[in-house]
Structure 1
Amino acid sequence: MAASNINRVILTGNLTFDPELRSLPSGTSVCKLRVAVNTRRKNGSTGEWDDKANYFDVTVWGAQGENCARYLAKGRPVAIDGRLEWSEWADKETGKNRSKVEIVADTVQFLGGRDDAGGGGGGGGGFTPRSDVPTDTSDFGPPQPTPVSAPVSTPADDDIPF
């Protein structure tokens, strides 16, 4: 039985520069992103936890890449779901072989709010709950007096059928 291979990457981080959008001669759009993701490591000498940034190059194709270029900016938090792609080429200046691994995004989720470029400023990570449905404020007004009605009589014990 042959083993199946899985090439899947999911990460969240912040953009380190504004998205770079370009079009291929075929008309297909391609957007380049760079995402910084922190990794926590314990410093062996001090015993303190240190954050180390890891940087990932991300390619987003088509209409999704156009949306990234339109709505994202440096510092904006994103979630990336995609696959790793390895490429190799000869350096034009030195002639040495070079290689890199990048992420080809299948989906990009915009995290935080539209104005939450740096992730700062409070508000729960940029999330502000909003609703398109107007609130009916009459439900929250002062209580209205209930009309007085005739007193309710209780049935006699002989009228109860059990």
Structure 2
Amino acid sequence: MTVAWIIGGVVIVGAITVGYYNRFVVLGNRIDNSLSQINVQLKRRADLIPNLIETVKGYAKHEKGIMQEVTEARKALVGAKGLEKKMKANGVLENALGRLFAIAENYPQLKADTNFLELQRELSSTEDRVAYARQNYNDSILTYNNLCQKFPGVIFAGIFGRKAREYLQISEEDSKKPEVKF
């Protein structure tokens, strides 16, 4: 009878350990997927920029400074390594796009161009997707951190070498949305 209790206890502890390990794996994968979704949306947005620049060039040939600024910001975003650098480059690109759209106000024909309007809609939609992906990332971090910090998860986190992860922080400067008039 005593041996059966010991075996039963070992089986229960083993099952709980496997269950916690699998939860850490699933939540870690969810975080990685959320980060990947942010990168996908940032890439989608960066891919729209050349078409936008070409459309604006047709109407505002002498506005080369802002077009160069947007191009450089896009290049910085595409080349950025790591989430923090990508978010910083994304903020610079947002500001440059805001100035580009403000300049577009001076060109009524550009504002009426269907390609330009469609690109504006696509960029706006992509920005919404980036915001959703950021939120999803932080929600995934919250779930993971709760598992790492609550009892008995904190014990298993120590056993498996898991630590709480950092939330995606947006600097105050980057969180200011540029005013864009359509």
- Answer whether TM exceeds 0.5 for this pair: no
More strand by share: 1
**TM-score class, shorter:** under 0.3
Q: What is the TM-score with the length of structure 1 in the denominator?
A: 0.22
More helix by share: 2
Larger radius of gyration: 1
